[in-house]
């Protein structure tokens, strides 16, 4: 009897220790440029270069160039949103780059072999009473691409990892498990979350982050570990006061009700061989004003070799289109806009001279619609035009880039004040206009 009880308790302890329970949590994320006091012109410039950097990282690497760890000349950070969480008991705050394109959750850990500078103290495992190792044979360890077993200082087996990103950034350390607290409330603590304790971290980390929180489709991502059937995000306006944004994991549908529009739903598609972590969607076409761009559907669809296709990515600012599609979009804008093209040196965006900023601009630029399988993204003007002042002149620029590859990436500038739901359980993506600062 006693033995049986002990066995049950042991099994319970193992399951609690090595696998997080299903949870419903709300996480606060901040836009990387929030509170820096930048002008719109500066925000636009930074958004544009981050988006290009991100696209360059997501696009061609899988096929060609080998990754050189740590060597990233002239690189620009590509963080867009920072998630504020805490790890350990008592909770130690961390701020992690939200990344729907990768799966590992990691933060820099003491003792550091090589750590980049961060504003917060490094996570110190010795200060956490709930910190625990993860066995090599665990699913968490085995789901790494190259798991390896090492001896921990305490003589136990430990799971070592080395995780690299397409831009050459690398984190090396051990997979460990600890309690994660969301939004500062211990009521939202989830026990036994596996994460990378990074002792040796190199790359460009200049956005006040302490690590990365992977939201991709792999086993180690936060949504997978919390065993939620869905997650959603609602990004507030990027310019202006820049209020915190919310990421909801496994929360009820009533949060999703909106009086501002009809919920649009499109299937999520997988691309296991090439990019198993990415969230692919089926984009069919784009309409600018009265013109459906003369692009064959195949320009947006996944090829047999895993190349091409369309993904939705929280880590990309401006939407990135294949070069030829972008050219057609640009022509369609120039043909239908009621404003004069205004070339801005040092900005590759298509910009127009805008009437004095205070005057209303109902239809000075054509409408923009993205047609997905079963869903239409009808963008409000502020989700594709960026208003700024260039040398005393009001301008408005198209916040869409040519990425240079064959993949289309739907970025987060296009998703402002839009509640976007990743319904993982049913393989669907839904979105609806929302007032994100009120969510």
Ligand X SMILES: *[C@@H]1O[C@H](CO)[C@@H](O)[C@H](O)[C@H]1NC(C)=O
Q: Would you please indicate which residues are annotated as catalytic (active-site) residues?
A: 99, 313
From 136-144, 174-182, 245-253, 264-272, give the range in contact with ligand X by CB under 6 A.
Answer: 245-253
CA angle, residues 219, 223, 228, in degrees to nearest 5: 110
With CB under 6 A as the contact rule, the residue among 120, 132, 189, 328 that binds ligand X is 120
CA 210 – CA 387 distance, rounded (Å): 32
Between CA 30 and CA 208 the distance in angstroms is 11
Considering the complex, what minimum distance in angstroms separates the CB of residue 244 from ligand X? Answer: 12
229 binds ligand X per the rule CB under 6 A: yes
Least separation in angstroms between residue 129's CB and ligand X is: 24
Residues with Cβ < 8 Å from 378, sequence gap 6 or more?
367, 369
Per CB under 6 A, 208 contacts ligand X:
yes
Which region, judged by CB under 6 A, interacts with ligand X, from 9-17, 212-220, 249-257, 385-393?
249-257
Within residues 253-312, the interface with ligand X by CB under 6 A covers 253, 256
Residue from 37, 66, 74, 252 touching ligand X (CB under 6 A): that is 252
What is the distance between the alpha carbons of residues 196 and 109, in angstroms, rounded to a whole number? 9
Ramachandran angles phi, psi of 193, nearest 5° = -85, 125
Tell me the number of residues near ligand X by CB under 6 A. 14
What DSSP character marks residue 103? -
- 6 counts as binding ligand X under rule CB under 6 A: no
Smallest gap, in angstroms, from Cβ of residue 125 to ligand X? 20
The window from 67-75, 215-223, 251-259, 358-366 that contacts ligand X (CB under 6 A) reads: 251-259
Gap between the Cα atoms of 79 and 207, Å rounded: 6
* 3-class DSSP state of 391: coil
Among 100, 128, 194, 230, which residue sits at the site for ligand X (rule: CB under 6 A)? 230
Q: How far is the CB of 25 from ligand X (least distance, A)?
A: 11
Residue placing its CB nearer to ligand X in the complex, 253 or 353: 253
Q: Output the residue with the shortest Cβ distance to ligand X.
A: 119
Which one of residues 7, 8, 36, 240 is an interface residue with ligand X (CB under 6 A)? 36
The residues that bridge with 94 in the sheet, in sequence order, are 85
* Closer residue to ligand X in complex, CB, 35/155: 35
d(Cα 197, Cα 160) in Å, to the nearest integer? Answer: 9
Give the per-residue contact string, 62-101, with ligand X (x = CB under 6 A; - = no): ---------------------------------x------
Residue 287 class from Cβ within 10 Å (0-12 exposed, 13-18 middle, 19+ buried)?
middle
Task: Return the ∠ at Cα 199 (arms to 197 and 205), rounded to 5°.
Answer: 90
Output the smallest distance, CB 208 to ligand X, in A: 4
The contacts of residue 17 (CB under 8 Å, 6+ apart) are: 132, 177, 191, 192
Which residues face 214 on adjacent strands? 99
Contacts with ligand X, residue ranges (CB under 6 A): 36, 95, 119-120, 208, 229-230, 250-253, 256, 421, 423
């Amino acid at each position: 009897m006693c033995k049986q009880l002990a066995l049950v308790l042991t099994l319970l302890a193992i399951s609690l220790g090595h696998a997080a329970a299903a949870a419903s949590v709300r996480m606060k994320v901040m836009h990387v440029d929030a509170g820096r006091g930048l002008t719109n012109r500066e925000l636009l410039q930074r958004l544009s270069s981050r988006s290009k950097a991100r696209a360059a990282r997501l696009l061609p690497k899988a096929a060609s160039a080998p990754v050189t760890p740590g060597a990233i000349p002239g690189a620009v950070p590509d963080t867009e949103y920072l998630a504020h969480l805490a790890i350990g008991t008592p909770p130690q705050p961390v701020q992690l780059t939200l990344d729907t394109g990768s799966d590992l959750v990691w933060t820099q850990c003491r003792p550091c072999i090589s750590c980049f500078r961060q504003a917060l103290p490094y996570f110190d495992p010795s200060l956490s009473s709930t910190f625990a190792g993860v066995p090599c044979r665990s699913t968490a360890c085995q789901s790494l691409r190259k798991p390896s077993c090492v001896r921990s200082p305490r003589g136990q087996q430990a799971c070592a990892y080395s995780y690299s990103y397409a831009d050459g950034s690398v984190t090396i350390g051990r997979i460990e498990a600890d309690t994660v607290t969301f939004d500062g409330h211990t009521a939202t603590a989830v026990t036994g979350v596996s994460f990378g304790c990074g002792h040796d971290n190199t790359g460009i980390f200049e956005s006040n982050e302490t690590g990365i929180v992977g939201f991709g489709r792999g086993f180690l991502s936060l949504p997978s570990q919390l065993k939620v059937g869905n997650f959603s995000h609602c990004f507030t306006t990027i310019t202006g006061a820049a209020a915190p944004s919310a990421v909801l994991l496994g929360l009820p549908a009533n949060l999703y009700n909106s009086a501002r529009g009809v919920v649009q739903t499109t299937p999520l598609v997988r691309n296991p061989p090439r990019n198993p972590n990415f969230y692919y969607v089926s984009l069919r076409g784009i309409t600018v004003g009265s013109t459906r761009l003369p692009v064959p559907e195949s320009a947006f669809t996944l090829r047999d070799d895993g190349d091409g296709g369309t993904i939705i990515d929280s880590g990309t600012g401006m939407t990135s289109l294949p070069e030829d599609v972008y050219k057609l979009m640009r022509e369609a804008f120039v043909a239908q806009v009621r404003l004069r093209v205004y070339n801005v040196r040092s900005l590759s965006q298509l910009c127009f001279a805008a009437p004095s900023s205070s005057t209303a601009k109902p239809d000075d630029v054509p409408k923009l619609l993205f047609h997905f399988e079963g869903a239409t993204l009808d963008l409000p003007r502020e989700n594709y035009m960026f208003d700024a002042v260039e040398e005393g002149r009001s301008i408005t620029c198209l916040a869409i880039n040519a990425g240079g590859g064959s993949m289309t990436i739907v970025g987060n500038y296009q998703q402002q004040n839009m509640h976007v739901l990743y319904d993982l359980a049913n393989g669907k993506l839904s979105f609806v206009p929302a007032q994100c600062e009120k969510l």
